[in-house]
Amino acid sequence: MAGTPRIALVTYDPGGVESRDRDLPVLVDALREAGAEAGAVHWDDPSVHWAGFDLALIRSTWDYSWRAEEFAAWAERCGKVTRLANPVDVVRWNADKRYLGRLAEAGVPAVPTRYFAPGDPVELPADREYVVKPTSGAGARYAARYPAGERDAAVRQAERMHAEGFTVMLQPYLTGIDTHGERALQFFGGRLLHASRKGAVLAPGTPYDADKVAHPGLQPWEPTAAELDVAERALAAVPGQPELLYARVDLVTGPDGEPCVMELELIEPNLFLWLHPESVPKVVEAVLAAAG
C-alpha cells in the first residue's frame, strides 16, 4: 500500500538459537498492527537492501561490541541510504566507553574511570574493591569484580584484553550497587518512557569470561528527581546535541549517596517492554513518527 512506512528492526544473528531479545517480536507485531511494514533484520546480512527502508531502527545488535569496526562501517553505509536511529555519529561516540570520561569532563556525575590502552601498564588499586572491563562491551562480558589487593587474576584478564585489542577500563566498585541496585531510565521520542531497577551483576569471584545474568531481579522503578536530573544532564552532554530517538541511562549510587552514570546506552539498549507493556504504544508512536 502506498505510503506504508517500511521499518527494519535491526538485530543480531543468534546463530541458530533463540534470540535473547524478548521485546523484538512484541515490537514487530505492534508496528504491523499500526499499519507499518516492519520486520527483524540482521545488521550483517549482506543481502539486505537498506535503502528500501524508511527507518533502520537499531534494536538488539548485541554482538556489535566484539565487531566494533565492522559495525561502525555498517552504520556508516546504512546511514547514507536511509534514516538510521540512532544516527551514525552517536553510534561511533557511544561505542567506546571512554565517553564516561567525557561526561565527567562536562560536569555530569559519572563513575570514576581510568583507561589503559594496549601497551599501557595497568595500575591496579591495593586499597579498594575494583572492576575491570573493556571499553567496548555489553552484557557484562569480559567484566569482573576484584577485592582490594587482588592482582593475579586481574592482570591475566587485562593481558588477554590487550592481546585482543581492547582498552581496559578500571573503576572502583561502588558498594551502593549491592544495596540500591542499578537504575535504568529509558527515554524514547525525547521523553522519559519508564524506569527499571536491577540487582548487582558482578558477584565476587565470578571469572571475567563466565556467562553472567545481565539483568538480575529486574523490576519497575519510579525514578527520583535527582536520578532524572542526572539522566537528563547526561543526555544533554552528548556531543552535537543529536536527535536521539531512544536512550537508556544506567545509574548507580556514588560514594556521596547521589546518583551517577554507570553507562549511557545509545546504540542497542534493551527496552524491557516485557516488563513495561504499557510503554509499547508510546514506542510505536515515536517509531512511526521517525519513519515519517
Query: Cα–Cα distance between 128 and 24 in angstroms, integer?
Result: 40
The per-residue DSSP string of 269-291 comes to: ----TTT-GGGHHHHHHHHHHHH
φ, ψ (nearest 5 deg) of residue 233: -65, -40
Q: Interior CA angle at 251 toward 21 and 185, to 5°?
A: 55
- The pLDDT assigned to 200 comes to 85
User: Which domains are seen in the chain, by residue range?
Assistant: 6-86 (3.40.50), 98-266 (3.30.470.20)
Q: What's the Rg (C-alpha) of the chain?
A: 19
Amino acid, res. 96: D
Q: Which residue from 1, 19, 72 is spatially nearest to 43, judged by alpha carbons? A: 72
pLDDT digits (tens, 9 = 90+) for 47-63: 999 999 999 999 999 99
Low-confidence residues of the chain, pLDDT below 50? 1
Question: Inter-axis angle of helices 23-33 and 280-291, to 10 degrees?
Answer: 60
- The pLDDT assigned to 140 comes to 60
Task: Count CA within 13 A, CB hemisphere, residue 99.
Answer: 22
- The pLDDT assigned to 139 comes to 58
Q: Which residue from 44, 48, 46, 41 is spatially nearest to 27, judged by alpha carbons? A: 41
Q: Which residue from 65, 57, 50 is spatially nearest to 84, judged by alpha carbons? A: 57
| Residue whose grid cell is 550497587 | 177
- The pLDDT assigned to 16 comes to 77
- The pLDDT assigned to 203 comes to 78
In sequence order, what E strands does 87-222 have?
Answer: 114-116, 130-134, 144-146, 168-172, 182-188, 191-198, 219-220
- The pLDDT assigned to 138 comes to 65
